């Protein structure tokens, strides 16, 4: 336990150094920049912004944890996120007559199902046709993006059919906002609950156990009469479902409508979130929060540093590389004889 704290401290200190170095390299005032980063991510409203940004990352990150634990390299989070959003928007559209209290969960469930079914497509291609998920999901991402763009200019387009976006859902359908001054909404609790559910599922249920077994050694699973195919399908389906749910939460939590630019790369970022979290749901929670804070902080920095938007990407790239590098270094020092 103590080691965890020492390591955590080391990582944080290292990250700070990396951040400072990056900022200094670009000729920004270090103290001021750090203040802006902290203000944007931690103080008062900053914390809320961190949580808002972390929510979809945690959900989609959990999805990646599930898939990767089952040995499936799902990098189709982005596509599953987009299709999930469409599923939610479709239900919101056809269900206008349904009372909001009932419709709200239905929209989220639809988002989950749509994302899950879309992911299951890649799963089926793997199980039935031996197409690698890494590749099929990369390709499906491109397809999903076009599908999304088509849907918001076609069947799901707003009633007036002018803009490439869906109609805004009525306020009553939106998730409850905890604070009017920012977008902090109850979706945060969905994310937290999902962390708990996924943890319990993976580590406390026979199915979760089998899923991890299949991920570690599908042949051993088969030899023990556990059919990998169905479990893998389940895993990627749940994975896509969580990405879809992330989109549904963003839809009902923040935008209330879909249009171009709806996805902010959540599905891609989910991968580093899951991997930095050690492919553990609790880890994904913390790395989701870390990324949320990083985005909230660096956006704030970009906004008010006078340097403009572009540095956000540099800082984020350097921070991810730095984080991974530090972790790897520590890992290396700790286990001179690494396990397999």
Partner 1 sequence: MNDVVLEVTGIGKRFGAVQALRDVSAQFRSGEIHAVLGENGAGKTTLMNVLAGFVVPDVGTVTYRGKPLPFGEPIAIRRMGLEMVHQHFMLVPAFSVEENVALAHIPGLLRPLRASRLAEPAVRLAKDMGWEIAPSARTNGLPVGAQQRVEILKALTGKGDVLILDEPTAVLGPDEIDDLFRVLRGLRDQGRAIVLIAHKLSEIMAIADRVTVLRRGEFVGTGVPTPVGNGGLDARTLALWMVGELPEARHDRSVAASEEGLALESILVRGDRGEAAVRDLTLAVRRGTVVGIGGVDGNGQVELAEAVVGVRPLVQGEVRWRGERARAGRPQVAYVPQDRRGDGLALRMSVLENLLVAGHRDSALKRGPFLRLGAAARWARGLVERFQIKIGSISDPVGGLSGGNQQKVIVARELSSEPELLVVVNPTRGLDLRATRYVHDQVRRARNAGASVLLISTDLDEIAELSDETYYLSRGEVRPAALGAAALVGGVP
Partner 2 sequence: MNEFATILSYAAPVALAAIGETVVERSGVIHIGIEGGMLAGAFFAMLTTYATGSPWLGIGVGVVVGVLLALLSAVFCVTLLADQVVIGTAVNLLAIGLTRTLFALRFGASGQLLSVEKIPSMNGLDAVTIGTVILAVLVHLALTRTGWGLATRSAGEFPEATEAAGYSVAKLRYGALAFGGALAGLGGAYLSLGIAGSFADNMTAGRGFVAIAMVTFGRWKPVWALLASLLIGWVDSLQFTFQTKGWDAPFQLFVALPYLVALLVLAGVGRGANAPAALATPFRRSR
Partner 3 sequence: SAPAGKPSGEAPKEEPFKVALLTPGPVSDAGWSAMAYEGLMAIKDELGAEVNNQEAGGTQIKDAMRSYARQGYKLIFGHGFEYNEPGMEVGKDFPDTVFVSSSGGQTATNVGAFRFYLEQGFYLAGAMAGKMSKSGVVGMVGGDDVPSIRSTFKAFRAGVLAANPNAKVQEVFTGNGQDPAKAKQATEQMIAAGADFVIHQANAAAQGVFDACKEKGAYAFGANADQNANPSGAVIASAIIVGKPAFVALAKQVKEGTFKGGIALMGMDKGAIDFVVNPAMAAKVPADVTAYVDELRKQIVDGKLTVPKDEF
Ligand X SMILES: Nc1ncnc2c1ncn2[C@@H]1O[C@H](COP(=O)(O)OP(=O)(O)OP(=O)(O)O)[C@@H](O)[C@H]1O
Residues that bind ligand X (CB under 6 A): 337, 339-340
Pick 27 or 261: Cβ nearer partner 3: 261
Cβ atoms within 10 A of the Cβ of 232, count? Answer: 23
Alpha-carbon span 143 to 7, nearest angstrom? 42
Pick 197 or 220: Cβ nearer ligand X: 220
Pick 101 or 339: Cβ nearer ligand X: 339
Work out what residue 196 binds among partner 2, partner 3, ligand X, none; the CB cut-off runs from 5 to 8 Å by kind: none
DSSP 132-177: -HHHHHHHHHHHHHHHHHHHHHTTTS-TT--SSBPPPPPGGGSPPB
Among 219, 261, 308, 333, indicate the residue that binds partner 1 (CB under 8 A): 219
Pick 159 or 339: Cβ nearer ligand X: 339
Among 5, 161, 206, 308, indicate the residue that binds partner 1 (CB under 8 A): 206
- Smallest distance, Å, CB 339 to partner 3? 40
Alpha-carbon span 198 to 136, nearest angstrom? 25
Give the torsion through C-alpha atoms of 255, 256, 261, 263, to 10 deg: 80
Alpha-carbon span 235 to 67, nearest angstrom? 5
Work out what residue 100 binds among partner 3, partner 2, ligand X, none; the CB cut-off runs from 5 to 8 Å by kind: none
Alpha-carbon span 94 to 112, nearest angstrom? 17
Among 225, 261, 306, 333, indicate the residue that binds partner 1 (CB under 8 A): 225
**Residues binding partner 3 (CB under 8 A):** 45, 49, 52, 146, 149, 153, 162-165, 168, 180-183, 250, 254-255, 257, 259-264, 299-300, 302-304, 306, 308-310
């Amino acid at each position: 336990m103590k080691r965890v704290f020492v390591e955590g401290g080391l990582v944080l200190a290292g990250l700070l150094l990396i951040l400072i170095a990056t900022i200094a390299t670009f000729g920004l005032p270090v103290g001021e920049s750090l203040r802006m980063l902290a203000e944007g991510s931690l103080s008062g409203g900053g914390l809320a912004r961190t949580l808002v940004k972390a929510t979809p990352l945690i959900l989609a990150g959990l999805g990646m944890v599930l898939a990767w634990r089952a040995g499936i390299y799902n990098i189709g989070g982005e596509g599953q996120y987009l299709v999930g959003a469409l599923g939610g928007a479709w239900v919101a559209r056809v269900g206008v007559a349904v009372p909001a209290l009932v419709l709200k969960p239905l929209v989220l469930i639809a988002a989950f199902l749509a994302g899950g079914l879309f992911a299951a497509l890649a799963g089926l291609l793997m199980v039935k046709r031996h197409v690698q998920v890494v590749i099929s999901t990369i390709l499906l991402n491109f397809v999903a993006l076009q599908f999304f763009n088509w849907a918001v200019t076609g069947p799901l387009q707003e009633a007036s059919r002018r803009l490439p976006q869906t109609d805004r859902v009525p306020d009553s359908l939106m998730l409850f906002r905890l604070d009017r001054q920012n977008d902090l909404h109850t979706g945060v609790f969905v994310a937290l609950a999902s962390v708990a559910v996924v943890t319990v599922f993976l580590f406390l249920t026979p199915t979760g156990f089998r899923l991890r077994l299949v991920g570690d050694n599908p042949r051993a699973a088969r030899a023990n009469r556990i059919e990998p195919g169905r479990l893998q399908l389940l895993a990627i389906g749940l994975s896509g479902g969580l990405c879809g749910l992330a989109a549904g939460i963003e839809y009902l939590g923040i935008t209330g409508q879909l249009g171009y630019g709806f996805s902010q790369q959540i599905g891609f970022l989910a991968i580093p979130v899951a991997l930095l979290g050690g492919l553990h749901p609790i880890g994904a929670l913390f790395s989701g929060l870390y990324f949320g804070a990083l985005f909230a902080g660096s956006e704030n920095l970009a906004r008010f540093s006078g340097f403009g938007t572009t540095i956000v990407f540099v800082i984020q790239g350097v921070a991810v590389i730095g984080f991974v590098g530090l972790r790897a270094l520590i890992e290396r020092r700790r286990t001179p004889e690494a396990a397999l």
